[in-house]
């Protein structure tokens, strides 16, 4: 039977052959201490797709290097699905990779606390359009627990890649129409950070957007109302852009994006809903400094036409 790291390499090459893109991988390890990285780099040519690892053994490294929220560790513990996901998210951003796999656990023989026994591990995975975690329980000695956690992390990565390849090889991508509304005030654009409760692109910055269920102009106002609480009278349509058609190979989906630019008359009225965690007003040129949903900049330039290039 092929080793997991070899199967991962094969899946990455198959995906590249199908889509023309070689997905990049990184790791953010705690209890395994670098073993996942060691396994992946056993494969000749792994430097093509494997970019690096952060071994965040202490909580301070998890917080200061990977960007795990201190409150997450305080509320849920270092060994938790929430921490595993935030480690993977942070590793993906720091290492600038498409996919990051993480682990946090109690290898033993000590370290157990109520409801968290020795051998409990959480594996996290963060990709552009998905974050997930997996709970594992091992009942062995310290060495074997670390080894089994390493294999569990590689198995999760393999399963994700196999699913991604399967979607990419389907002949007819799923087609979805969406509206994306850019809200302008004082020559700046409002961007919103997507929460962990939404189904796609969690933690990334976006405009006001949603699936098209009505005539596109009507849907734009509906989405603005739902996501910012601004009424029709609070905004003024400046421009409707030509639709942008893009393919998300990982999701096997064709997005047809209908962009709009609205002027906001009273920005102090904005109140975000559960879909977002925070907002920022930025210039068009500053958007490239944020981790955004795919094609946000391209969509924006469909409507700004040089109107909003710098703040006053």
CATH number assigned to the domain comprising residue 163: 3.90.950.20
Residue 312 lies inside a defined structural domain of this protein? no
Task: Decide: 290 and 281 in contact? Cβ < 8 Å.
Answer: no
The tens digit of pLDDT for each residue in 81-109 reads 999 999 999 999 999 999 999 999 999 99
Q: Same structural domain for residues 227 and 97?
A: no
Q: What's 291's domain CATH number?
A: 3.90.79.10
The pLDDT-based confidence of 129 (bands split at 50, 70, 90) is confident
Angstrom distance (rounded) from CA 65 to CA 62: 6
The pLDDT-based confidence of 74 (bands split at 50, 70, 90) is very high
Q: Same structural domain for residues 198 and 71?
A: no
Residue 305 lies inside a defined structural domain of this protein? no
Range of the domain at 125: 4-169
Q: Same structural domain for residues 21 and 148?
A: yes
Q: Same structural domain for residues 150 and 237?
A: no
Q: Same structural domain for residues 10 and 133?
A: yes
Instruction: Quote the number of domains for the chain.
Output: 2
Task: Choose one of 151, 169, 187: the last residue of a domain.
Answer: 169
Residue 310 lies inside a defined structural domain of this protein? no
What pLDDT is attached to residue 307?
53
The tens digit of pLDDT for each residue in 22-43 reads 999 999 999 999 999 999 999 9
What pLDDT is attached to residue 196?
87
Residue 309 lies inside a defined structural domain of this protein? no
Q: Same structural domain for residues 238 and 93?
A: no
Angstrom distance (rounded) from CA 239 to CA 177: 18
Residue 279 lies inside a defined structural domain of this protein? yes
Q: Same structural domain for residues 21 and 158?
A: yes
pTM of the model: 0.60
Q: Angle CA(152)–CA(32)–CA(140) in degrees, nearest 5?
A: 70
The tens digit of pLDDT for each residue in 109-118 reads 999 888 899 9
Among 44-53, 77-86, 250-259, which is the least confidently predicted range? 250-259
Task: Decide: 31 and 146 in contact? Cβ < 8 Å.
Answer: yes
What pLDDT is attached to residue 248?
75
């Amino acid at each position: 039977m092929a080793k997991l790291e070899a199967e991962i390499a094969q899946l990455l090459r198959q995906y590249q052959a199908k889509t023309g893109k070689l997905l990049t991988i990184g790791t953010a390890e705690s209890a395994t201490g670098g073993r996942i990285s060691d396994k992946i780099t056993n494969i000749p040519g792994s430097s093509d797709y494997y970019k690096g690892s952060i071994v965040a053994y202490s909580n301070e490294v998890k917080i200061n290097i990977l960007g795990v929220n201190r409150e997450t560790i305080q509320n849920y513990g270092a060994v938790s699905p929430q921490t595993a996901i935030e480690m993977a998210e942070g590793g993906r951003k720091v290492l600038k990779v498409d996919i990051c796999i993480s682990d946090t656990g109690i290898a033993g023989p000590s370290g157990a606390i109520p409801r968290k026994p020795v051998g409990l591990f959480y594996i996290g995975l963060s990709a552009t359009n998905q974050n997930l975690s997996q709970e594992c329980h091992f009942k062995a000695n310290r060495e074997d627990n670390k080894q089994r956690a390493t294999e569990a992390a590689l198995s999760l990565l393999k399963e994700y890649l196999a699913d991604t390849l399967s979607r990419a090889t389907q002949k007819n991508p799923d087609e979805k129409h969406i509206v994306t509304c850019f809200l302008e005030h004082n020559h700046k654009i409002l961007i919103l950070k997507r929460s962990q409760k939404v189904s796609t692109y969690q933690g990334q910055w976006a405009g006001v957007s949603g699936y098209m269920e009505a005539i596109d102009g009507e849907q734009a106002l509906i989405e603005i109302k739902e996501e910012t609480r601004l009424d029709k009278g609070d905004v003024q349509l400046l421009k409707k852009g030509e639709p942008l058609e893009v393919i998300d190979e990982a999701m096997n989906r064709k997005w047809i994006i209908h962009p709009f630019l609205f002027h906001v008359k009273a920005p102090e009225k904005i109140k975000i809903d559960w879909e977002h965690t925070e907002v920022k007003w930025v210039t068009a040129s500053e958007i490239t400094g944020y981790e955004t949903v795919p094609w946000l900049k391209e969509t924006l330039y469909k409507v700004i036409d040089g109107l909003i290039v710098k703040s006053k």
